[in-house]
Amino acid sequence: MAAFRTQTVRHASSGAVRAQSAVFTETGEPSKVLRVVDHEIGPADALTGTQALIRMLAAPVNPSDLNQIEGVYPVKPRFASGLVQGQLAAVGGNEGVGEVLASGPESGLCAGDWVVPRSSGVFGTWATHAVVASDDAVVRIPHDWLRGGNVAVQALDVATVKVNPSTAYRMLRDFCQLRPGDCVVQNGANSGVGRAVIQLAREMGVRTINVVRRRDDFDSLAAELEQLGADAVVMDSELADSAVRDRILRRLDSPAVRLGFNCVGGRPTLLMTRLLSQGATLVSYGAMARQPLTLPTSLLLFGDLRARGFWMNRWYADNIDSSERSTMWEHILRLTAASKFVAQPMVKVEWPASAPMLPAEIAETRVREAVAWSSGGKHAFVFSS
């Protein structure tokens, strides 16, 4: 997989570029409606204004991407002509990193720059190449953010910085002023956001109680999360036992559990709230159980619990010109370079972006397998050159 390079090593020729994209012409089950099409982009010397030709380096598959293809996500796909003859089509994927191959005179980009989508829905990332407008579609990642650490920052690290780590970063900072020694509790602790919360909280001196579903491999998962910095790992079913809750709190000896992060919903989240201190805030950012979250009035009245919601896309929309975005991404990527932050484990799906490219039907099989809800684990497309 590509890592940061200190020199520009690729330049586009003046000819058209052969590309492949994972597209859909109607919403529905991703593994059924997605198909891979061959097409041409360019030529590079025809780029005008702020346009840039990029070769994708890596792009993850997020649950929100699948919800968008299903037609149930608030950010709707952009259907356009030109990819499928006689039909409007949209390219899947909203997160990723690409390398600039060529750019228009007003783009402000140079060949070799790495860029990420400015926001969800601006262009589809499940493609080998794309032509984008640099002023409203992408953000350049400065090379110095990726330098000077103990490890080479990989393309996949950059490709995934925009959603899960950023969600964790914002939730740890935007809902209360955490102090070293404070504690947060979260469910879905083995998710991408959950792992990011553990690592970013550790850097803040904040302790974490981490709730996961009952599973046969609990011991090995708990050890894995503890290696990332988790202070306590517990199965959700155990939280019904007040003795277990008391034991966790005594062990941590924390002055306050001031924040709770919920991505599950239902009864497991209600049980988790019993660990929260008076006046704490419960932040919901997902609902994997697809069950409503019901909070008893006593928690609100006597426990002064504050229930909030957080959606990363809304934060980006509300802070489109804020320097906080750059500060956040730089912080996470510099931690990565310093071996203090690692992305969640992912199944890498190879997708050649240069000759010899895969036949479209083989690439399509790989895409459909990666986006199936039953595929297990988080998948990411790695566009090899």
| Number of CB atoms found within 10 A of residue 321's CB | 6
Upper half-sphere CA count for residue 203 (Cβ side, 13 Å): 19
Cβ–Cβ < 8 Å for 66, 374:
no
Q: How many Å apart are CA 303 and CA 133, to the nearest integer?
A: 50
Cβ–Cβ < 8 Å for 22, 56:
no
| 115-44-103-143 Cα dihedral, nearest 10 degrees | 40
Q: How many Å apart are CA 4 and CA 223, to the nearest integer?
A: 31
Instruction: Tell the residue number behind the tokens 């356009």, with chain if given.
Output: 80
Map 154-195 to HEC letters: EHHHHHCCCCHHHHHHHHHHHCCCCCCCCEEEEECCCCHHHH
Burial of 301 (0-12, 13-18, 19+ CB in 10 A): exposed
Active site members? 73
| 370-371-373-377 Cα dihedral, nearest 10 degrees | 40
In DSSP terms, 117 is beta-bridged to 138
